[in-house]
């Protein structure tokens, strides 16, 4: 975070289509940096349905959302993509040298002649708990994501939620924080049973607390939390806390991409079907976020779009080079890029 990087192509969104851009660009020897607000790649596949089987990926009769993500990561590994995760792409500007400059909310600056928007159904954004006055504490002592575990060292933490994020961060932060209290409105969890069992074992061992109840309010001032008011069957009490981490799930919203100055059509980005370029030269859109006559929001559509986008991106990034059509089966040049031995 905070650093400036120059590259060939910036990809906004690391969903399945964002990832496959890297492959098609890599075959043409173009380097890619990707940005995603999620803390891991995979977009909807990894976030919304990691364990659900997909049946319409060509040549994979059945593959889960997470497996597809893992296989894409393996396939693009030879091209060394650089991921900027847990970061929202917030601004896109044209530079005096005709390249694009993308800035994230963590202060990372990416500079490239080509940008591909693969923002899918939009950016995943946290659902906020309905607690009056919570805004005053956000980003100072109330958080909806963990960017750096160190920020919570020796803090008294209250973690709220019953899904995988809440349980995973409870277990991960336990060795770092001074104390951890997990709260959830009921004793049943949506999280993986294995994480739930691990958490309950930590409670049993006296290393942390688990409380059933709802957050009734926050105590503190100037953005610094001192306590979380918990309403339970037995009444209301205050849990002393330096920080609250609330994991109430995610919703998809178009988000900052709407401010990039691109033409939009019902929150989608219209593109041509020759290059999948937007109405702004040098900016492409691939995957669920784009729109053209006949568009189907399927993963395989995005894969095809990525291949054509890459041809056009090459012409922009390497205006003096000749583009040759080659098969991976027979081209030793492509096989070298792929690291085939
Ligand atoms: P996404 O997967 O939506 O990823 C976009 C990423 O961009 C997200 O991670 C988001 O956080 C990020 N992002 C957006 N804006 C920003 C920003 N400003 N800054 C940082 N990050 C940003 N498709 C099929 O083909 N077959 C199926 O069987 C199938 N089953 C499905 C089942 C379910 C339950 C769902 C929900 C979808 C299913 N789909 C299926 C659809 C498929 O998941 C989508 O077509 C696919 O995920 C689109 O990929 P994408 O890369 O375009 O976008």
**Residue predicted with more confidence, 50 or 14:** 14
User: Is 36 labelled a binding residue?
Assistant: yes
- State how far the alpha carbon of 94 is from the alpha carbons of 6, 118, 282, 283, 310, in Å: 14, 19, 10, 11, 20
Cα–Cα distance measured from residue 18 to residue 120, given in angstroms and rounded to the nearest whole number: 9
pLDDT of amino acid 148: 85
With b meaning 16 or more CB within 10 Å and e meaning fewer, what string describes 305-321?
Answer: bbbbbbebbbebbeeee
Cα 198 to ligand 1 centroid, rounded to whole Å: 31
Q: Whose CA is nearest to atom 13 of ligand 1?
A: 123
299 Cα–ligand 1 center, Å:
8
pLDDT at 29 over 90: yes
- Please indicate if the annotation marks 44 as binding a ligand: yes
Q: Taking residues 15-42, what's their average pLDDT?
A: 97
Angle value at C-alpha 194, between 189 and 198, nearest 5 degrees: 90
- Ligand 1 touching residue 257 (CB < 6 A): yes
Mean pLDDT over the full length of the chain: 96
Give start and end residues of each alpha helix (H) in the chain.
16-27, 43-47, 65-76, 164-173, 193-204, 299-317, 332-337
21 CB within 6 A, ligand 1: no
Evaluate: CB of 180 within 6 angstroms of ligand 1.
no
Per residue in 123-161, is it b (16+ CB within 10 Å) or e — as a string?
bbebeebebeebebbeeebbbbbbeeeeebeebbbbbbb
Query: What confidence tier does 99 reach under pLDDT thresholds 50, 70, 90?
Result: very high
Task: For residue 38, give the ligand 1 atom closest to its CA.
Answer: 11
Our answer on whether the CB atom of 268 is closer than 6 Å to any ligand 1 atom is no
Task: Give residue 141's pLDDT.
Answer: 97
pLDDT at 1: 62
Domains and CATH numbers, the chain: 4-125+251-337 (3.50.50.60), 128-248 (3.50.50.60)
Q: 129 in ligand 1 pocket by Cβ < 6 Å? A: no
Q: Give the model's pLDDT for residue 341.
A: 85
pLDDT at 284: 98
Taking a C-beta distance cutoff of 8 angstroms, is the pair 64, 40 a contact? Answer: no
pLDDT of residue 2: 78
Closest ligand 1 atom to the C-alpha of 256? 18
Position in ligand 1 atom list of the atom nearest CA 13: 7
* Residue 145: per-residue pLDDT: 87
Report how far residue 277's alpha carbon sits from residue 271's, in angstroms, rounded to the nearest whole number: 5
Residue 124 CB–ligand 1 contact under 6 Å: yes
Q: In angstroms, what is the span from residue 298 Cα to ligand 1's centroid? A: 9
User: Residue 46 — pLDDT band, cuts 50, 70, 90?
Assistant: very high
pLDDT given at position 181:
98
How many Cβ atoms sit within 10 Å of the Cβ of residue 330?
Answer: 8
Q: pLDDT tens, 107-166?
A: 999 999 999 999 999 998 889 999 999 999 999 999 998 888 999 999 999 999 999 999
Q: Is the CB of 89 under 6 A from ligand 1?
A: yes
Q: Which atom of ligand 1 lies nearest, measured to the CA of 19?
A: 51
Question: Where is mean pLDDT largest: 46-50, 240-244, 322-326?
Answer: 240-244
> How many helices and strands in the chain, by DSSP H and E?
7, 23
Q: Establish whether residue 65 lines the binding site of ligand 1, counting it when its CB lies within 6 angstroms of any ligand atom.
A: no
Substitution candidate for ligand 1 out of 43, 64, 88, 283 with most atoms within 8 A of CB? 43
Q: What is the pLDDT of residues 56-72, one digit of tens each?
A: 999 999 999 999 999 99
CA distance 75 to 107: 29
pLDDT tens digits, one per residue of 174-227:
999 999 999 999 999 999 999 999 999 999 999 999 999 999 999 999 999 999
**Measured in angstroms, how far is the CA atom of residue 136 from the centroid of ligand 1?**
32
User: CA of 197: how far to CAs of 141, 167, 193, 203, 333, in Å?
Assistant: 28, 10, 6, 10, 51
Nearest residue (CA) to ligand 1, atom 47: 44
Give the predicted TM-score (pTM) of the model.
Answer: 0.87
Distance CA 223, CA 226 (A): 10
Q: What are phi and psi of 176, to 5 degrees?
A: -95, -45
- Any atom of ligand 1 within 6 Å of the Cβ of 35: yes
């Amino acid at each position: 975070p905070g650093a400036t990087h120059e590259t060939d192509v910036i990809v906004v969104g690391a969903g399945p289509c964002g990832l496959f851009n890297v492959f098609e660009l890599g075959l043409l020897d173009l380097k890619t940096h990707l940005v995603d607000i999620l803390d891991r790649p995979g977009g909807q596949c990894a976030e919304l349905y990691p364990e659900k089987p997909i049946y319409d990926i060509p040549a994979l009769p059945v593959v889960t959302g997470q497996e597809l993500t893992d296989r894409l990561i393996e396939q693009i590994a030879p091209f060394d993509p650089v991921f900027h995760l847990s970061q929202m792409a917030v601004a896109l500007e044209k530079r005096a040298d005709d390249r694009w400059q993308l800035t994230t909310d963590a202060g990372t600056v990416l500079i490239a002649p080509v940008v591909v928007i693969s923002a899918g159904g939009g950016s995943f954004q946290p659902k906020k708990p309905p607690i009056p006055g919570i805004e005053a504490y956000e980003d100072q002592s109330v958080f909806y994501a963990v960017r750096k575990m160190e920020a919570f060292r020796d803090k008294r933490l209250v973690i709220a939620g019953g899904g995988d994020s809440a349980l995973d961060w409870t277990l991960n932060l336990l060795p770092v924080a001074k104390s951890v209290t997990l709260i959830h409105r009921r004793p049943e969890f949506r999280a993986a049973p294995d994480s739930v069992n691990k958490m309950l074992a930590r409670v049993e061992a006296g290393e942390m607390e688990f409380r059933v109840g709802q957050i009734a309010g926050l105590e503190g001032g100037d953005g610094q939390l001192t306590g979380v008011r918990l309403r339970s069957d037995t009444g209301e009490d205050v849990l002393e806390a330096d920080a609250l981490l609330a994991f109430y799930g995610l919703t998809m919203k178009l988000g900052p991409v709407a401010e990039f100055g691109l033409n939009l059509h019902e929150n989608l980005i219209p593109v041509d079907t020759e290059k999948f370029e937007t109405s702004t030269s040098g900016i492409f859109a691939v995957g669920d976020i784009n729109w053209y006559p006949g568009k189907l929001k399927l993963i395989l559509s995005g894969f095809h779009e990525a291949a054509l986008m890459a041809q056009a991106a090459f012409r922009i990034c390497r205006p003096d080079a000749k583009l040759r059509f080659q098969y991976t089966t027979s081209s030793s040049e492509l096989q070298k890029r792929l690291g085939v031995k």
